[in-house]
Structure 1
Amino acid sequence: MTDGFSVDLDALRKAASGISTTLDAMATKKVSDIDAPKDAFGHDSLASAVVDFCDRWNIGVSHLATDGAEVSDRLNRCVQSYEAAEKHIQLSAEGILKSSSGTDPGAS
């Protein structure tokens, strides 16, 4: 026999919110902000390496942001599903305890 399980819906909400907050913060700090004109590096190869790094890093950040938004969305949908299931179970249990002639006399 299983002992069942429980889900901390507040923790799921906070996790989703934390991811969204982090993504919002990431949106204000662009990798391109550290990019500089090639002559600022004093060496063409170094400047090219920095440009290549920034380009690749931007791609990685973009993928991370997309994945993070998906995780946040799925956590929020899980909360909604758990809440809907809980409401359904509650209404079903209430329906079982009521008869067509009123409240179940054995419930009191």
Structure 2
Amino acid sequence: MGDHYRVDLEALEKAASGVNGTLDEISVQKVSDIPHSESQVGHEALASTLSDFLDRWQRGVDNLAKDGQEIATRLTASVNAYRAVEEHTHKQFHGILHGVKDPAVKQR
């Protein structure tokens, strides 16, 4: 019975913050900002191919950003859930130690 687990809420919060920071950074500059016009690359077919590639790349970045936002949201929700349980447990123990009955439990 010596197996215990611990959740580092601060680490979860930092992870969510880090993901959000990265998302903020990638939202500042789009892949489409990379020069890719015919006048910039010097060749019509190359410009067209590069444009198609950048469009696909941007869709990939957008999908990763969406997934990253979901990760950050779930990390934050986990922190909130752990804190709520911790607070409830603390109140329960406080009530037991001080003889306060749990109002959520129906008395007979």
The answer to whether the superposition gives a TM-score over 0.5 is: yes
Tell me the equivalent position of 1:81: 81
- Equivalent pairs, count: 100
Secondary structure at the aligned position of 2:36 is classed as coil
RMSD: 1.4
Q: Which amino acid aligns with 2:38?
A: K
Tell me the equivalent position of 1:40: 40
- Contact 1:35–1:54 (Cα < 8 Å) also in 2: no
- Contact 1:19–1:69 (Cα < 8 Å) also in 2: yes
1:99 and 1:52 map into 2 onto residues whose CA distance is 70
**What stretches of structure 2 of length at least 5 have no aligned partner?**
101-108
Of residues 76-85 and 37-46 in structure 1, the stretch that sits farther from structure 2 once superposed is: 37-46
Q: Which amino acid aligns with 2:22?
A: T
Secondary structure at the aligned position of 2:7 is classed as coil
2:65 and 2:40 map into 1 onto residues whose CA distance is 30
Residue by residue, what CA displacement relative to the aligned partner does 1:5-32 show, whole Å, maximum 9, x if unpaired?
1111000000000000110000111111
Identity between Structure 1 and Structure 2 (%): 47
Cα distance, 1:79 vs structure 2: 0.3
**What stretches of structure 1 of length at least 5 have no aligned partner?**
101-108
1:40 and 1:84 map into 2 onto residues whose CA distance is 56
Tell me the equivalent position of 1:97: 97
Cα distance, 1:2 vs structure 2: 4.7
1:43 and 1:70 map into 2 onto residues whose CA distance is 40
Tell me the equivalent position of 2:68: 68
1:2 and 1:61 map into 2 onto residues whose CA distance is 44
2:55 and 2:86 map into 1 onto residues whose CA distance is 47
TM-score (norm 2): 0.85
TM-score (norm 1): 0.85
1:84 and 1:2 map into 2 onto residues whose CA distance is 25
Q: Which amino acid aligns with 2:76?
A: N
